[in-house]
Amino acid sequence: MAKKFEATPIVPRSVGDLLPTPPNDQFILTHHPERWQLAETADGGYEILPILTKFLLRPGLNGVRARPSGGIDYSETRGIYQDRGWVFLPATVIEGGYLREYQARGGKVYADRWTTPRSLGGGSRVVWDIDHTGYNDFRRGLVESGTIGKPDPLIFDFLVAQYSRRIQYEQQKGHLPHVQKSIEANEEKKEALIEIKKTKKPTRKRNKKAPPAEKGA
């Protein structure tokens, strides 16, 4: 009986089609319960989202091994990390996966799906565009689905303290207009954290210095 083989469609690539950046390693996104950050919402408010760290699948790093038969073995390291509280998010945690692979001149380049490369003028310089909205939607979804647990109340206190230190430092130069703006922005973030901790909901945009409503309006 004849056996059929499947072909994969390919597009011939010239050097110009290859990403002019050094190759890097595949990764798995991870989260530790202590790592959270304040992020701006689409409507100008704030929410608290988990910080995701890339666990690089790089043989030789943090106990990751290259298998003699090919492939990568990180099972031992993953166990140790999980014992310390880290959550490993498989690439398929989101429909369509979060890992993307690009052909580069020296090998392959890996990035998450919300970070896309763009070459400036066809030259060797590459900029990476980040879809912050999509990335934040993903992170929010991880908490809403229960994949990542909600932040401990102490996390808010820690972040508030961090903003307080930043404000305290900036106040030394508060007479400078751009520093004053930064102080106000950090004050706003600090207040947002306190509010989110209290209400357990994202904050909404505040109309600071809004003009008084016209009579009869």
By CB under 8 A, name the binding residues for other proteins. Answer: 25, 32, 34-37, 51, 53-56, 58-66, 76-77, 80, 84, 128, 130, 159, 162, 165-166, 169, 172-173, 182
Smallest separation, CB 35 to other proteins (Å): 7
Smallest separation, CB 61 to other proteins (Å): 6
Dig out the tokens for 199 from the structure: 């209400």
Dig out the tokens for 49 from the structure: 């989202």
Q: Which of 20, 85, 22, 6 is nearest to 53 (CA)?
A: 85
Cβ-based nearer residue to other proteins, 12 or 70: 70
Cβ-based nearer residue to other proteins, 145 or 153: 153
Smallest separation, CB 159 to other proteins (Å): 7
Cβ-based nearer residue to other proteins, 41 or 77: 77
Cβ-based nearer residue to other proteins, 46 or 202: 46
> Phi and psi for 94 in degrees, rounded to 5?
-125, 145
DSSP 43: T
Cβ-based nearer residue to other proteins, 62 or 82: 62
Smallest separation, CB 8 to other proteins (Å): 29
120: left (phi over 0), alpha (psi -120 to 50) or beta: beta
Residue 135 bridge partners (DSSP): none
Cβ-based nearer residue to other proteins, 94 or 167: 167
> Phi and psi for 154 in degrees, rounded to 5?
-65, -25
Distance CA 203, CA 217 (A): 27
Q: Is 95 helix (H, G, I), strand (E, B) or coil?
A: coil
64: left (phi over 0), alpha (psi -120 to 50) or beta: beta
Smallest separation, CB 184 to other proteins (Å): 14
Distance CA 52, CA 30 (A): 5
Smallest separation, CB 121 to other proteins (Å): 19
